[in-house]
Structure 1
Amino acid sequence: MKRIFLWSLGLCLSYMGYAQSGNNPWEDPRGIEDAEIVIEKKREIELPTANRQYNKVPPLPAPPAIAPFQYSFQEFTYGLAPLKPRVRPLTLSDEPLSKLYGNYVKAGFGNYVTPYAAAHLSNKRNPDVAWNAHLEHQSSLNGPVDSSNSGNARSLVALSTRTMGQKGSLRTTLGYERQMVHYYGYPETDIPPISDSIRQVYHRFGAEIAIRPNGERVKADYTLDARYNFQADRFGAQEQVGGLKGSLFLDINEDFSAELALAGYLSQRADLTEQFRYYAQLQPVVVYTRGDLEVKGGVNVIFDNDTLANTNPTYLYPVVQAKYTVTDALVPYAKLWGNVEMVTWHRLTQENPWIGREAALNNTVIPIEVILGAQGALGTIGYYDAGVSIGTVRNWYFYTLSDTETGRFDLEYDQNNTTRFNAFGEITAKGGEIFRGSLRADYYFYQRRDGLGEPLDAVYAWHRPQVSLTALTQVNLGDKFLLDAKASILGGIIVPGEAEALAPIYDLGVKAEYRVTQRLGVFANFSNLLNQNWVQYQNYPSQNLLFIGGVSYAF
């Protein structure tokens, strides 16, 4: 077999040689010659023996011996004289707290035979409990019309406490106020009425308990107010109003939260007739917040039992509000809603103390109101808010002179819709502890309508101003000189029976105090500093310049 294999291998190699030389053996007519190849496997190759010589490396000489080191230890003793320092170490004692003079008493006297007294008391430096009490009295024996027939007086006592806890605070307030006025808006006569016959005295008592959170954002939180007000007058009329007002907050997730505002009041008035009223409000809303955008949506549900002809016991209005923070200086906002405002005798007499006994009480209905505006920070010193609102008002009250009670006002309710437009702007500013101020401007437009919605001619929003401007300023110069000032302008007030609006009101009041020492000071109060005999309510001119000067003592 090996021979056949080797023979075949030789044949292939021969063919490759012929192919490279260009000769094809298959085409040679002579054919393939016989040949024999012999391969010997036992052939050996013999090489001569190599001659190898090695030279050994001689050993290195031994290193010389090294003598051992000798160590010598010596003891040294140092002697120093005792140190006697002449400088004693400084020991710091607790720095005494500066004394606070938060309590004070004031006493003064002014023209129109006007005595004045005030006192303020409070605790000091207690982070857990704070309380304060305030007492004040001011009365003028004489007034702008027939001397004592237009005198007035006001006395006030208020006590409040606040207790701080880990999760919130509890505030309590008690107050009593006595206000005396005269109905001096009677026609001019040769013989004026007796002063005591036109004198009115209001006694007001109020109590409130309020719970507030500590300001930290939590998953769920709430606020709660409980209030009670009592008012009585010299002629036996009384009103009691009590109720609750609160809010709930629930953080659903990063984008959504829920809020619930609720209020409920019961009131009872006893005068020529008795009137029992209730008022309840429920306003649930859902809040969506994403980045700088905040949107609120919900409903406002109100229940009451007013008895006007077109008054329903239940009201349901939408509440939609949105705002977007462009920067801290620009936050545009918009709101659409409806509401019902509760009207009480207590509220009306504080606004106009010359109301008669026959004035009825009915709530004000606002079916729809749209508010557009913008607010933001004025750098680091202030804040602004400006915008416009337009809506309709129903059952709105207006002051008119009573036909049966001389010198007293009655309430005229418009059961139709009145269009009300308001353009407003407000700025507040603060300059450290030296200056604080605010400015508020309003322009109003009213259009009363008939039952068909058509505008009425020569029927106006009686005693409602069309222009209002109020500026407040507080200045504190090193706790040495204190100044409070208030300037106000009211214009466009139209009253029944007058062809033109009342003259504009320009009023300026200033309170200044100079502290001679930390405890002793002198003060001067000015009312109606421009000395104008202006009229806000028909037939009731104001006092001219009223000046009160006195001393104060802090302790």
Structure 2
Amino acid sequence: MNIENIYHRISLKTGLFLVGFTFLSTGLFAQEEWEKNDGEIEDVEIQIVKDREITLPKANRNFEKIPPSSIVRTQPNLEYFFSNLNLPLPALNIRVRPLRMKDEPLNKLYGNYVKAGFGNYATPYLEGYFSNKRDNQMMYGAHFNFLDSRNGPVDGKNSGSGVMNGNVFGKYFGSKVTASGEVGFDRRRYNFYGYPENQEVDADTLKQNFSVMHIQGYLENTQADAKLSYLAGFQFDYLTDNYEAKESEFQIDLNTGFDIGENTRAEIKSDLDIISQKDVLLDVKTRNIFRVNPTLTFEYGGFLINAGFKAIYENDTLGDSDEVHFYPVAKARYQLPSGFTVFAGIDGDIEKLTLRKLTNENPFLMPNAQAFNTNKTFQLYGGIEGSLSSKMGFRSGISVSTYKNMYYFLNSPLDQSKFMVVYDQGSTSLVNIYGELSYNRNEALRFILRGDYWGYDTDEIQEAYHRPNYKVSAISTYKLYDKFRFEAEAYMLGGIKAFDFNTGEDIDLDAALDLNLKAEYLFSKQFSAFIRLNNLLSNEYEVLYNYPSRGFQVLAGVTYSF
């Protein structure tokens, strides 16, 4: 709003005030005159001028700013005091019931099973395994197996064979000591069917049975990584056959180990064997073997070294007797930058030989076959192992050994269906070259391929009779959709020589080629059916001279787990 407009408003208001005042003054004056003149009205002329202009002087305006007052601000000195306030509060007792999650039920174990089946050659089969489940302190159970073929490859019943064995076992896990024990038996039935073709024989004279009873018990550390470890126990075996052979073996083992430093460990292994044998024409013969083997394991320059010696006393009646033998023992391992591991070592030992071991290798021995220990005077070995990928591994190596009293099998000149045990009391050299390749894909597919070559250089025996020169084996397992399980096995064994007393010549046996297959279908976790196919090529090969093996064999059955 400007000054001129304000001025006009003031002028108008002033004019109206003056006009009103004039009328009021005139009225009052006229009333007085009227009252004086008794109410007579005189002629009066009133003149109103409206164009009058009231002029006001201009006001002076001061535009100077008022200077701020100079105020000095001072910071007051303030002191703060803190004091702890301990307010006693009543105890708060909140009762809350926690929400507990339900434990997930454990999967039921089906470790126990019963198998039953039947196959050609009139072969019944029965097997059972029973044990306790999920016990942190105790494990116990029993196993039974029966497989008997009434007929065989030669003259039906005259070449039948079978096996029946069983055992009861138990193990108790204490806080510091673990105790284990086992009692069992093994019965094997054979027939001497290696007689000449078209020869009339009495079936009762062909029978041979081996019965073995055994009992054992051991005490050892519960913690495997204890600084001081030990193992002590015994084993007793007793063998009889269908003739008059008897053999008892009592063995005591005592092993201990203890840490000397951070990467050094000492071990002492010892055992005592007392072997007694008796037969038709053989008086009681007792052999003793006492072995002490102290070793020291340590690391040096990237090598893991195990070194020591063996001191062995034995009183064998063949060759040197009542003698103490010393053998150096050493083994070193070194890991290469590529991840492979190389190893090498030297060794020597008295290898215990019993009638039970001989009859497991060759059940067709003639009566009065004697067992003598084998002296491995020296062995040098080395090799390499490692992983080619996350699923494939390999191992290969070579060993060179010398032996005294190495044993071999020869057909008897009196009865070709029975075998003699002959010993080379000179020095036998043996070279073994081997290679192994393994493959494992998520436990669904496994495959192992191995090849071995053995080269013998005998001294007092013309050939290494009934010992192979090579063996190639392949084993594979495969699982399909958790319903099918397949197992395949193939092997080839060759280079076996025999001696024919009728012709006086060495015999080269044909290579043994065998292919076996097993398939199993799981109807459920508890019930399945299986079929085994052995010797699919139906090759009646001979590993022992005059003893052809069975041809194609089939065995089918079922399994129930609980």
Alignment partners' CA distance in 2, 1:335 and 1:353 = 35
Alignment RMSD: 2.5
Alignment partners' CA distance in 2, 1:392 and 1:438 = 29
Q: Give secondary structure in 2 for the equivalent of 1:496.
A: strand
Alignment partners' CA distance in 1, 2:133 and 2:142 = 13
Is 1:293 paired with 2:307?
Answer: no
Which residue does the alignment assign to 1:8? none
Task: Please say if residues 195 and 415 of structure 2, whose CA atoms lie closer than 8 Å, have aligned partners that are also in contact.
Answer: no
Alignment partners' CA distance in 2, 1:391 and 1:445 = 10
Cα shift readout 1:23-73 (whole Å, capped 9, x = no counterpart): xxxxxxxxxxxxxxxxxxxxxxxxxxxxxxxxxxxx9899xxxxxxxxxxx
2:234 to 226, 229, 238: 226
1:202 to 198, 210, 213: 210
Task: Please say if residues 440 and 446 of structure 2, whose CA atoms lie closer than 8 Å, have aligned partners that are also in contact.
Answer: yes
Which residue does the alignment assign to 1:464? 467
Give 1:422 deviation, angstroms.
Answer: 0.5
Letter in 1 for 2:104: E
Cα shift readout 1:172-211 (whole Å, capped 9, x = no counterpart): 22221111000111112342x1222110011111222234
Alignment of 1:306-455 (within 5 A): 306-311=316-321, 313-327=323-337, 329-381=339-391, 383-450=393-460
Task: Please say if residues 499 and 507 of structure 2, whose CA atoms lie closer than 8 Å, have aligned partners that are also in contact.
Answer: no
Which residue does the alignment assign to 2:478? 475
Which residue does the alignment assign to 1:259? 267
Task: Please say if residues 310 and 415 of structure 1, whose CA atoms lie closer than 8 Å, have aligned partners that are also in contact.
Answer: no
Task: Please say if residues 149 and 194 of structure 1, whose CA atoms lie closer than 8 Å, have aligned partners that are also in contact.
Answer: no
Alignment partners' CA distance in 1, 2:264 and 2:116 = 56
Q: Give secondary structure in 2 for the equivalent of 1:395.
A: strand
The 1:430/1:446 distance shift into structure 2, 3 A limit, reads same
Which residue does the alignment assign to 1:162? 171
Task: Please say if residues 484 and 521 of structure 2, whose CA atoms lie closer than 8 Å, have aligned partners that are also in contact.
Answer: yes
The 1:95/1:301 distance shift into structure 2, 3 A limit, reads same
Which residue does the alignment assign to 1:282? 292
Give 1:151 deviation, angstroms.
Answer: 0.3
Which residue does the alignment assign to 1:16? none
Alignment partners' CA distance in 2, 1:426 and 1:132 = 35
Larger radius of gyration: 2
Which residue does the alignment assign to 1:487? 490
Q: Give secondary structure in 1 for the equivalent of 2:146.
A: strand
Q: Give secondary structure in 1 for the equivalent of 2:269.
A: strand
Q: Give secondary structure in 1 for the equivalent of 2:468.
A: coil
Letter in 2 for 1:142: N
Which residue does the alignment assign to 1:526? 533
Q: Give secondary structure in 1 for the equivalent of 2:293.
A: strand
Alignment of 1:32-71 (within 5 A): none
Is 1:516 paired with 2:526?
Answer: no
Give 1:499 deviation, angstroms.
Answer: 4.2
Alignment partners' CA distance in 2, 1:190 and 1:285 = 58
Alignment partners' CA distance in 1, 2:474 and 2:218 = 30
Task: Please say if residues 358 and 410 of structure 1, whose CA atoms lie closer than 8 Å, have aligned partners that are also in contact.
Answer: no
Cα shift readout 1:84-113 (whole Å, capped 9, x = no counterpart): xxxxx9974332222222222121111111
The 1:233/1:209 distance shift into structure 2, 3 A limit, reads same
Select between 415-424 and 250-259 the one with higher mean Cα deviation: 250-259
Give 1:250 deviation, angstroms.
Answer: 2.1
Q: Which runs of 5+ in 2 are unaligned?
A: 1-69, 74-97
Alignment of 1:23-172 (within 5 A): 92-167=101-176, 169-172=178-181
The 1:377/1:228 distance shift into structure 2, 3 A limit, reads farther
Alignment partners' CA distance in 1, 2:527 and 2:365 = 42
Give 1:430 deviation, angstroms.
Answer: 2.9
Which residue does the alignment assign to 2:19? none
Task: Please say if residues 471 and 487 of structure 1, whose CA atoms lie closer than 8 Å, have aligned partners that are also in contact.
Answer: yes
Give 1:479 deviation, angstroms.
Answer: 3.7
Alignment partners' CA distance in 1, 2:354 and 2:206 = 23
Task: Please say if residues 220 and 229 of structure 2, whose CA atoms lie closer than 8 Å, have aligned partners that are also in contact.
Answer: no
Letter in 1 for 2:312: I
The 1:169/1:384 distance shift into structure 2, 3 A limit, reads farther
Which residue does the alignment assign to 1:538? 545
Q: Which runs of 5+ in 1 are unaligned?
A: 1-58, 63-88, 451-455
Alignment partners' CA distance in 1, 2:216 and 2:476 = 29
The 1:429/1:229 distance shift into structure 2, 3 A limit, reads farther
The 1:161/1:393 distance shift into structure 2, 3 A limit, reads same
